[in-house]
Amino acid sequence: MTKSEITKIFHLIQQSGLLMLMPRSHQYHLGNAFDTVASHSYQCSVIAYVLSQMEGLSHKDGLKCVSMALFHDLVEARTGEIGFIAKHYVKIDENKALTKQVEGIKFGQNIKSLFDEYERQETRIAKIVKDADSLTQIYTEWVMMWQGHKLAQKWFESDFNDRVPAMNTASAKKIVYLMKESNPNEWWWSELMENDAAIDKDRLLGMKK
């Protein structure tokens, strides 16, 4: 591999790092959103794999879901993330941007193929990743809602009229309806608490080492 090829790869890594610093576009409307494009892509990848397994796909196809979710917003390092309102007025040439991102990289076409498949929304894998993308957005609104954010609550409730009915998989819908009945602390509260009291009171009070 030549120095030029390695440099291209390094530049791609730099662009992925930029997404760690890039707030989501909804911050302009919600004000104090906590996520970045990179954190969104990470959770989207986790959810994509989970949905693939719930839907009966193989582990191999599940890993493809992970890869597709991980790379589906990489192009935003060059285009920025375009919010819902802006999409009514502007059109971004994502194909041109991504083609330039992976230009001169031997495995670049692998990334481009994942992106193209996701954009076409014709395969089962692409549809699962789309559901994961929607679930990730709804999850963020849900956490903010529980933190007392009234605008996020409005968005969360609205998604049950818009995003949820449009989901491709029964598994995604099951998760989102369970989310509606839950709270962000339930994963540990259900394990460590009983009747709203600590099961292991000594450990809670620091009396057990």
- Higher per-residue confidence, 56 vs 4: 56
DSSP per-residue string spanning 98-146: HHHHTTT-TTHHHHHHHHHHHHHT-SHHHHHHHHHHHHHHHHHHHHHHH
Condensed to tens digits (0 to 9), the pLDDT of residues 61-111 reads: 999 999 999 999 999 989 888 887 888 898 889 999 999 999 999 999 999
* Contact criterion met (CB below 8 Å) for 62 and 52: yes
Assigned architecture for domain 3-204? Orthogonal Bundle (1.10)
* Contact criterion met (CB below 8 Å) for 146 and 184: yes
Q: How many CB atoms lie within 10 A of CB 139?
A: 20
Q: How far apart are CA 177 and CA 185, in angstroms?
A: 17
pLDDT of 208 reads: 57
Q: How far apart are CA 36 and CA 81, in angstroms?
A: 10
* Contact criterion met (CB below 8 Å) for 122 and 105: no
pLDDT of 203 reads: 65
Q: How far apart are CA 209 and CA 204, in angstroms?
A: 11
* Band of pLDDT at residue 202, cut at 50, 70 and 90: low
DSSP E strand stretches across the chain: 193-194, 197-198
- Higher per-residue confidence, 19 vs 32: 19
Condensed to tens digits (0 to 9), the pLDDT of residues 129-176 reads: 999 999 999 999 999 999 999 999 999 999 999 999 999 999 999 999
Condensed to tens digits (0 to 9), the pLDDT of residues 32-71 reads: 778 889 999 999 999 999 999 999 999 999 999 999 999 9
Residue 204 has pLDDT above 70, yes or no: no
Q: Does residue 73 sit in helix, strand or coil?
A: coil
Residue 166 per-residue DSSP state: G
The residue ranges of every structural domain in the chain are: 3-204
